[in-house]
A = this chain, B = another copy of it.
Amino acid sequence: MSSPEPVEPVEPDPPEAGARFRAEIYEQPQALLRLLEHEPDYERVAELARERGASTVRMVGHGSSDNAASYGVYAFGLRPRWTAFRDSISLTVHYGTKLDMSGTTAIALSQSGRTPDVVTYLERARGNGAFTVALTNDPGSDLASVAEAVLPLAAGDERAVAATKTYLNQIAALGLLASHAAGKGRRFATSIRLVAEELGELIPELERRVIPVASAFSFTGRMFIIGRGPEFASAREIALKLLETTRIAAEPLTATDLAHGPVAALDPLFPVWAIASNDETLSAVVEGAERARETGAVLIASGAAANAVPDAAYRLPLPDLGSNLLGPLLSVVPGQLFAWALARARGLDPDRPRGLSKVTLAR
């Protein structure tokens, strides 16, 4: 029976769909710890910004980096009470407008450090008088070379097209910088270390909880993600993960903006994900979720205050870290895992989003 036959070359198993994306979600606790190795850089840059009186912060980035900047608005506002905002790239890069940027710190966020208009922006911001800072995973990049100060993201090589650990490190980095600017950096660093531990235990448990929830949305075409305050950044980032990997038309909104128009688009086939935390914005988020529910929209509630959202069909509660600047370090994770699980449930490979590559060179 067993006649000698030519041995077929063994083909390696095709990698499991989304294996890379999932591995980097799991790697986030380690990435956070790597960031902390660079804490002295964050302390020094905060000190430089203070010395230069550059206490207004303009941030630029695209995609996940821009979402992280939304977190920065709150980190700088709540900690050193500095005004921070997401600046227009077009004004400086496309229109060549020479704004007086003295008295401001310009932080350019780019994982690769190669996003063309972000590099050009920072170069010109320096010419316009800003204190220029590059927050990047590659301290040898073009972006780093045009900046006066470089903050290493230290997330480690990111291979998945959809960013996870670099986003998490970006918000941790902005929180650390803002906390140092307020003289509270050491304490924030300690908190990040605790979050990393917490997250290490939480991720496998969350994965188990998220898979059946994601499955229910296998045929969903549209979704709003609402959050307010620092959690608006989480809403934006979860929406982007869904767009990148699941093809859901996911749109982030502040809980209040939902009521100012978009609520009219909702119906039972247009679900809403509400991120609720135990802070001053909770009532606005609950009210937004209630308005959504009145249209028949199905609710997913996540965050430390997930149980405060009435009538949610699905809940993904998270531990309460006792600080609204720490909450976003956990609350994006159920969204990452949801995107991973849902993409697979839909027969898509989250490691192969159509039309995307790791480094986007679009201008």
- A residues with a Cβ closer than 8 A to B are 56, 58, 62-64, 66, 73-74, 77-78, 81-83, 85-91, 94-101, 104, 117, 162, 221-222, 228-229, 232, 240, 242-249, 251, 254, 256-257, 259-267, 270, 279-281, 283-284, 287-288, 291, 294-295, 353-356, 360, 362-363
Contacts and interface: CB of A to CB of B under 8 A. Distances in A.
Nearest to A257: B62
B356 A261 contact: yes
Contacts of A288: 362
A267 B281 contact: no
Contacts of A240: 261-262
Contact of A280 (B94, B162, B248): B94
Interface centre among A78, A89, A98, A260 (most CB of B within 10 A): A260
7 contacts: A58-B83, A62-B256, A63-B261, A77-B88, A242-B265, A249-B251, A287-B363
Contacts of A267: 247
A355 B264 contact: yes
A351 to B, nearest CB: 12
A291 B362 contact: yes
A34 B266 CA distance: 36
A100 B81 contact: yes
B249 A264 contact: no
B97 A78 contact: yes
Given A91-B74, A95-B77, A280-B95, A261 B243 contact: yes
Nearest to A260: B63
Contacts of A96: 280
A82 B74 CA distance: 23
B362 A259 contact: yes
A182 to B, nearest CB: 12
Contacts of A98: 81
Contacts of A101: 83
Nearest to A262: B243
A97 B85 contact: no
A248 B265 contact: yes
Contacts of A117: 256
A77 B62 contact: no
A178 to B, nearest CB: 12
A87 B85 contact: yes
